[in-house]
Chains A and B, each alone.
Chain A
Amino acid sequence: MTGGGVRIGVYVCHCGGNISDTVDVKRVVEEVGKEPGVVTAVDFPFMCSEAGQKLVEDDVRSGRVNAVVVAACSPRLHEATFRAAISRAGGNPYMYYHVDIREECSWAHEGDREGATEKAIRHVRMAVAYLRRAEPLSKIKAASERSVLVIGGGLAGLRAALDLAEAGVRVYLVERSPFLGGNAARLGALKVFPYGRPAIDIVRSLIGKLVGRREVTIFTNAEVEAVSGYIGNFDVRIKVWPRYFKGKCAGDLARVCPKRARDEFYFGVAERTAILLPPFEGAYPDIPAIDINLCDRCGLCAKACPSVDLSQEPQTVSVRVGAIIAATGFRPYAPRNGECGRGLPGVITLHELVGALNKFGGIRVDGRAPESAVFIYCVGSRQRRAGGEGANEYCSRYCCIAALDAALHLRELLPGVRIYHVARDIRSYGVNELLYEAAGRLGDVFVKYSEEAPPRVERQGDKLVVRVRDVLTESVELEIPADLVVLVTGMEPSDGTAAIAERLKLQRGPDGFLQEVHPKLKPVETALGGIFIAGTAQAPRGVAETLASASAAAARAASLVLRGYVELEPFVAYVDASKCNACEACISECPYGAIEIVRAGSREVASVNEALCKGCGACIPACPNSAIQLRGLTSAQIEDMIRSALGHGRSA
C-alpha cells in the first residue's frame, strides 16, 4: 500500500478519566486530525468497551478507514483487542499502531496537563507516521509436527503423556531417573486425600495405561540434552544413559553388590546398593539399572546374573515434536543442620517419616515406638529472607495437608500416640478441612507460634523437648516432651527443573519455579511458544492440583499440534533482493541461523527462513545497504517516526 492509499483513523481513549483528567483529549484529537493521512480522529470514554471497539469496526467495515491508531493504555493490555476488532471488520490487523497514553503518559505526568497533552500528541503523530508506510501483513503458516515431548515421568508427566496419547498425539516421555513415578511414587502406601487412595495406586494405574500404547515412546535414565527449532517444529536431542542390564534377573541381586548409599526412593531413611531394582510392583521399566557413579565395576553382579552388561554405552536419540511439556517436579526442602533441631536423633522431616512408613511399615525411635510426636510446620517456608538465609518466602500449599494426613496415618498405626501440631497457621483449604477436623476430634493438640519466635528443639536426656511460645495463650512458653519431632517442609524446584529452565531458556519466577505467562489468562503456557508447564515444576501443589494442571497442559499442547500447522506473527526479517550484495554480514549476526545465501536468478542474495526468524532485528544494523528489514517495523517507518515526533523539528 502506498502513502496515498492509507486512510488513518485515530481513536483516543479517556479511560474513564484515567487519561482525560490529565491529557486534554479534545486537543489531541484536534491536532492529530490535521496530520496527512488521517481521515477521522475521535475521542471516547472507554475504547476497550464494546461501543468503543464498534467505532473502529464501523469505520473499517465502511472502508472509510484502513489503518488504525488507538491511543489508550499499554499495548500489553489491549493491542490484541483492537487488532481483533479490525480483523472482525474485514480489515488487516497489522495496519494498526497502539499508543500508550496512560502508563507512559497520563499516569507518569499527573499534574502536568500541558506536558502530558504535548506528549500524547507527539506519540500519536509518530504512530500516524508509522502507518503512512504500513503494509497489510498476514500471519506465517508453518506445518507442525503432531507429536509432543513430555519432560519428567512423575505424576504430572505421566498424566499429560496419557492424555495426549488418548487424544491420538505421538508422545515422547523422558525421565531422568531409571524408573517412572517421580515423587508421587515415593509417597507409596500413604493415602492421598481426598478419597483415600494410596499414591502408588494412582501412579501404577497411570503407568499401566501408558506403557505399551503405540503412540508412546518412553525413555528412562535419559535427559533432554538440546532443543532447537520453534513452535510446531522442535528438534530434540535425548541422551539415554545405559542401564547396564539387558533384562531381568532372578534372585535378590542387590545383595551381591558390596556398595552402599542412601536410598532416594525412601527419602534416604534406608540404604541401597549400586543396583537399582524396580522400586515398586508395577514399576516401569521392570528391569534394574546400575548407579554407575557408585559402582566400581567389581563384576560380582555380572557373575551372578547374565543380564548384566557393563559394556553398554550412552545413546543419543533425536526426535521432532510440535510442542513440549516440562513436568520436572520438585524436591523437598532440606533443613539446614540445627534448624528446628535438625541433626538431633529423633528429629526427621515429613518426607523421611513417609519414607520410613513405606519402608518399615512404621516408625521407631531408639528401637521403640514413639509415644509422643510433634509436627513443626512451615520449616523453611514463609520466611522473610533477611540476612541471606536460604529459606523460602512462599507457602508450599500442600504441606499442612500432607502433615495432617501423615499424623492421622501415624495415629492409625499407634493408637495411643500423643500428637502435637506446632504451626503458624493450618492452611487446610477446601475439602482438606475435613482432615483438620478429624485430627482435632482424635485429640491432636494444636499450638500456634509466630514467625518472630520459631520453636526450639533440644535434647534433654533421652527425650526431645520442643519449646514454643503459644500465641493463643498470651505467648506462654510451652515445653512439649517428644519422642519424635517431624519437620514439615515445603517444596523447592527440583534440580531437573533448574536444568531444564537453563536448557530451554524458560523463565523462572523469583522462587525458582517455572513461570507461566499469566496465572489466569495463560496458566500453563510459557513465554516460549509451544512450551508448556505442568505440576510442581511450576509451583508447589498437591496431587489433585498436579493432575489437573497436567491435563490442562496436555489439552493446550494437543490443541496446538493436532491442527497440523501453527500461525506465527509476521514480524520477521526479509531481504530486499535488489539491494543485497550477499556480503553475509547479516548471517553472522543472526542468533537463530535463520539467514542463508540463496541463488536468485543469476546472482546470490541473502534469504530469511521465516519459521526460524524470531524477529529480534539483530541483523538490521549489520546490513551496509539497509537491504534487510523487519516486517512491521522497517527502517523507513522508524526514521519517519523520529522525524515526525517533534512536528516542525528544532524550531518548535
Chain B
Amino acid sequence: MTRAPQILVFTTSTISDPGVASAGLMRLKYPPQTAIIRVPCSSMIRPEWIVLAIESGFDGVFVAADGTDCPYLRDCTERTARGVEAAQKILASRGVEPERVRMAAVCSVCGEAFVRIINDFFNALSRLGPVRL
C-alpha cells in the first residue's frame, strides 16, 4: 500500500490560521496528513525551510498566505511568492517537481477555500507519488 502524501502547511497567526481553523469549525473534511506551522506573516518564510521540509519527509508544502488582509504588509503576497519561487527553483535543480510547493491566499473565514485547495493539492501529490531526492 502506498503511503499518503504528507503536507506541511504554513499559516499566519491572525489571518490564514483562523481560516484553517474555520474549516474545522464547519466540520469540513481534509486529509489529516497535514502539519501546520504558524508564522506572523508569510513573508517570513525562508526558501530553505521549504526545501528542508521536503528533505525531512514531507511530500508537499502549502503556504496559506494572507492575500490583501495581512495586518503587516501590503505586498506580502509578492514577497511570499518570491520565497516560494526560490524554493521551487532549488527543488527543481535537485530533480524535485516544483509543483510540490503551492501557495494561495486563505482569509480568516475561508475554511471552504482552504479545504478545496488542500484536497486538490493532496490529490495532485498522490498522483506525483513519493519524492525522489
Chain A residues with CB under 8 Å of chain B are 74-76, 100, 102-110, 112, 115-116, 118-119, 122-123, 126, 527, 571, 589, 591, 614-618, 620-621, 630, 633, 635, 638-639, 641-643, 645-646, 649-650, 652
Report Cα–Cα, A110/B35, bound state, in Å. Answer: 17
Nearest opposing residue in chain A for B108, CB measure: A76
Q: Which residue of A lies closest to B43 (CB)?
A: A618
Residue of A nearest to B69 (CB): A507
Is B20 an interface residue, CB under 8 A from the partner? yes
- B62 to chain A minimum Cβ distance, whole angstroms, is 14
Contact, CB under 8 Å: A119 / B24: no
For B74, list chain A residues within 8 Å (CB).
Answer: 591
Over the window 54-93 of chain B, the binary record of Cβ atoms lying under 8 Å from chain A Cβ atoms (1 yes, 0 no) is 0011100000000000011110100100010000000000
Given contacts A74-B21, A119-B32, A122-B35, contact A617 B57 (CB under 8 A): no
Interface hits, B1-38 → A, CB 8 Å:
6, 8, 13-14, 17-18, 20-25, 27-38
CB-CB under 8 A for A616 and B44, given A107-B27, A633-B39: yes
For A126, A616, A635, A645, the residue with the greatest tally of chain B CB atoms inside 10 Å of its CB is A616
Tell me which residues across on chain A come within 8 A of B22, comparing CB atoms.
Answer: 103
B53 CB contact (under 8 Å) in A106, A107, A642: A642
Which 4 A-B pairs have CB atoms at the shortest separation, nearest pair first? A617-B44, A115-B32, A616-B72, A103-B21
Q: Which of B24, B25, B37, B41 interacts with A642 by CB under 8 Å?
A: B37
Q: Which chain A positions have C-beta within 8 A of B131? A: 650
Given A118-B32, A621-B43, A633-B40, the answer on whether A103 and B25 have CB atoms closer than 8 Å is yes
Residue of B nearest to A528 (CB): B71
Closest to A615 in B: B40
A615 to B35, CA, bound (A): 23
Whether A108 contacts B27 in the complex (CB less than 8 A), given A527-B71, A621-B44, A642-B53, comes out as yes
Q: How far is the CB of A46 from chain B (nearest CB, A)?
A: 19
Contact status A642-B36, CB under 8 Å:
no
**CA A122 – CA B31 in complex, angstroms?**
14
Residues of A within 8 A of B25 (CB): 103, 107
Q: Does B98 contact A (CB under 8 A)?
A: no
The total of chain B residues at the interface (CB under 8 A) is 46
- Whether A76 pairs with B24 at a CB distance below 8 angstroms is no
Q: How far is the CA of A212 from the CA of B18 in the complex (A)?
A: 48
Structural contact, A616 and B32, CB atoms closer than 8 A:
no
The answer to whether A645 and B35 touch across the interface, beta carbons within 8 angstroms, is yes
B40, A641: Cβ atoms closer than 8 Å: no
- Chain A residue nearest to B131 (CB atoms) is A650
9 contacts between A and B (CB under 8 A): A76-B21, A103-B20, A105-B24, A108-B24, A115-B31, A638-B49, A639-B49, A645-B57, A646-B57
A639 touches B35 (CB 8 A): no
Asked if B104 lies at the interface with its beta carbon under 8 angstroms from chain A, I say no
Q: Is the CB of B72 within 8 A of A103?
A: no
**Contact assessment for B30 and A620 in the assembled complex, using a CB-CB cutoff below 8 Å:** no
- B124 contacts partner chain A, Cβ-Cβ < 8 Å: no
Query: Given A618-B44, A630-B44, A100–B21 Cβ distance below 8 Å?
Result: yes
Set of chain A residues within 8 Å of B47, measured between Cβ atoms: 621
Q: Are B46 and A115 in contact (CB under 8 A)?
A: no
Query: Does the CB pair B57–A649 fall under 8 Å?
Result: yes
B103 sits at the interface (CB 8 A): no
- Chain B positions within 8 Å of A630 at CB level: 40, 44
Q: B49 touching A642 by the CB < 8 A rule?
A: yes
CB neighbours (8 Å) of B71 from chain A are 527
Question: Is residue B45 within 8 Å, beta carbon to beta carbon, of the partner chain?
Answer: yes
Closest CB of chain A to B72's CB: distance in Å?
A: 4
The answer, yes or no, to whether B128 is at the interface (CB within 8 Å) is: no
Q: Which of A103, A112, A621, A645 contacts B56 (CB 8 A)?
A: A645
Most buried by B among A589, A620, A650: A650
Complex: how many Å from CA A126 to CA B38?
11
Contact call A646/B56, Cβ cutoff below 8 A: yes
By a CB distance below 8 angstroms, the chain B residues around A617 are: 39-41, 43-44
Contact B24 A591 (CB under 8 A): no
State which of A74, A76, A126, A527 has its C-beta within 8 Å of the C-beta of B37: A126
Q: Chain A residue with minimal CB distance to B14?
A: A527
- How far is B43's CA from A589's CA once the two chains are assembled, in angstroms? 10
Q: How far is the CB of B111 from chain A (nearest CB, A)?
A: 9
